[in-house]
Structure 1
Amino acid sequence: MALFDLPLDELRTHRSDSTEPEDFDAFWNKTLQQARAYQLDARFEPVDTGLSTVQVYDVTFAGFGGHPVKGWLLLPAGASEPLPLIVEFVGYGGGRGLPHEHLLWASTGRAHFVMDTRGQGSAWGGGGTADPVGAAPAYPGFMTRGIDAPENYYYRRVFTDAVRAVEAARSHPLTDAARTVALGASQGGGIALAVGGLVPDLVAVAPDVPFLCDFPRATTLTDRHPYREIGLFLKTHRGRSAQVRRTLSYFDGVHFAVRGRAPALFSAGLEDQTCPPSTVFAAFNAWPHEDKAIEVYDFNDHEGGGPFHEAEQVRWLRSYA
């Protein structure tokens, strides 16, 4: 696929048409308050993986509704004092996978927490976290589960889990809460954006080709999944577009980006049909912190910079954590 979105000079000034709900902050404050009514109950069970350079813990904590959420915590072997903390969120359809798939950040001398995404982990990177909440009729996938109302929407549970994941990771004695970074790619990047807007004291945020941004544009610009799930839902449920737009407005990465308080490193692929570059730039341009950058991969689709961007993240994060 060649370039299909706005020219790069227009991307650098593009702003979303997504309308922020007046009660956006009240909605999320109430959601997190309800989640924190449950004990976090973070448990770290050592795992013998046969790996000699990292120490691995199988983690369980209470997420949205007090539901158990899984994760991995990887520490450099022999760590004896609190370390900078990377909290990572994974892409659409994936789960936390296996510990040996997550060796990069512990290899840099940091603590690395990988959150399992509830209900996912059956398309790739196996998961072990159920989503016990029922929902109204939805198109197969996750994008329309509970889309009838913000209170029921699937990503309300996921974003709440993500905030609680930061709290769980920070509770371990070998992590330094004051040096916490949120990052992820695709869906993981969208979750990292939400965390960046909901957790005020992160030292850095790194959303890589982030998903879940600028819904009004994304759902009408690309016919690639997962955004297409929303269009297919509305193809059947005629006349519900306004209701769906309202629900999605509470979960749009652009509105979380406006609340970002940390330095940020974004990335975009100019041939990315899954997360069109204009949707990524909409979030980047909304991020208010003056210390921000975006890496642009001009001939790449949703793979973005891949390992090249990981290397850039390693370099960039030396200044923060």
Structure 2
Amino acid sequence: MPLTDLTLAECLALRPDLDEPADLDAFWDRTLRTARAVGGPAQYVPEDTGLTQVTTYDVTVPGFAGEPVRGWLHLPAGAEGPLGCVVEFLGYGRGRGLPHEQVLWATAGYAHFIMDTRGQGWSTAAGATPDTVSLNGDVPGFLTRGVDSPDDHYYRRVYTDAVRFTEAAKDHPAVDPDRVVVTGHSQGGGIALAVAGLVPGLAGVMPDTPFLCDIRRGALVAGAPPYTEIAEYLSLHRDRVETVFTTLSYVDAALLAARATAPSLFSIAMMDAVCPPSTCFAAYHLYGGAKDLKVYEFNGHEGGAGHHRRAQLAWVRERFSTPRPADPGVSTLHDPQLA
């Protein structure tokens, strides 16, 4: 598993210059205002998992266009008072899974929301969230779905779902709204960065080997899917290059991350062929808030795995035990911590 991208020294020195749409903020303001105007309140139905130390709820939140987005809420059994909360977004092709599968954050004493990703979970009969829009690219996958227009693109709907899901978490009576961290691996990391740029007042964000960052470079250098979906699409549609990358710039998580102010803990793997490290470093360098970094020099897309989870547990505990600054927009850049 050799290096397939820039070296660590080159990535640390990288100064990305991404093309940003002039109306990016207006686009997302319009999108989110429209979503907030429709749909009812979030719903929580108790779920019997057989676990005695974690209480679980089947969650339904109105997302894009008010459409129902499913998920899980895990709470430490018997916990009192508003809790710190971790909102988690999932990797490419993954749904929310079974209710007992991911309970780490609840066993650490926090509320844990897990969002199902529309169109990527199990069948709707098993409680997955469908993607109700039928627009598709000409290659399998999600990156080219609705790629001819920012209004139609698949990730416009996903990011909106994620914002509404995070807002529902902040509104839940078991959650302290000032202690909410968003996280995710790969696609989930890209979604978390987008949410950090679109939802004010978060306590932190933890993107792991994030996808959807510097998307144009990802399409040029990634050796494995999903970025290769774009290259395959453009090999068939040679005249659509600028249209495609203009659309994708509206959902580039690196650009949205530049608007974030919450503290962050990034993880990046230097032998990652799925999310090349230079694309992840683009988001890291552009990130608008305070930032810490763990680099895994000899790992692929799995990144730090359980080793990094331990680092995250310590980082979240520190965030939740430290008083929030009076002005969350003022941040200090931390030196990278290499692991």
Fold match (TM-score > 0.5): yes
Amino acid at match of 2:292: A
Contact 2:118 2:131 in 1 (8 A): yes
| 2:313 alignment partner in structure 1 | 314
- Note the alpha carbon deviations across 1:16-62, whole angstroms, 9 max, x for none: 33200000000000000000111342000011111001000000011
Contact 1:234 1:241 in 2 (8 A): yes
TM-score (norm 2): 0.91
Contact 1:136 1:148 in 2 (8 A): no
**Superposed displacement of residue 134, structure 1:** 2.0
Amino acid at match of 1:192: A
| 2:161 alignment partner in structure 1 | 161
Contact 1:88 1:115 in 2 (8 A): yes
* Alignment partners' CA distance in 2, 1:166 and 1:40: 15
Alignment of 1:249-288 (within 5 A): 249-288=249-288
| 1:229 alignment partner in structure 2 | 229
| 1:296 alignment partner in structure 2 | 295
**Superposed displacement of residue 137, structure 1:** 3.8
Q: Give the match's secondary structure for 2:202.
A: coil
| Identity fraction in percent | 54
Amino acid at match of 1:209: T
* Alignment partners' CA distance in 1, 2:265 and 2:130: 31
Q: Structure 2: which 5+ runs fail to align?
A: 321-339
Q: Which moved more, 1:4-13 or 1:250-259?
A: 4-13
Alignment of 1:18-167 (within 5 A): 18-122=18-122, 128-167=128-167
Amino acid at match of 1:215: I
Q: Give the match's secondary structure for 1:235.
A: helix
* Alignment partners' CA distance in 2, 1:134 and 1:32: 21
Are residue 246 (structure 1) and residue 237 (structure 2) matched? no
Q: Give the match's secondary structure for 1:101.
A: coil
Contact 2:82 2:175 in 1 (8 A): yes
Contact 2:137 2:233 in 1 (8 A): no
Aligned length: 318
* Alignment partners' CA distance in 2, 1:180 and 1:41: 19
**Superposed displacement of residue 130, structure 1:** 0.6
TM-score (norm 1): 0.96
RMSD: 1.3
**Superposed displacement of residue 120, structure 1:** 0.3
**Superposed displacement of residue 216, structure 1:** 1.7
Are residue 177 (structure 1) and residue 187 (structure 2) matched? no
* Alignment partners' CA distance in 2, 1:82 and 1:42: 18
Q: Give the match's secondary structure for 2:85.
A: strand
Contact 2:212 2:251 in 1 (8 A): yes
Amino acid at match of 1:102: Q
* Alignment partners' CA distance in 2, 1:88 and 1:137: 27
Contact 2:69 2:161 in 1 (8 A): yes
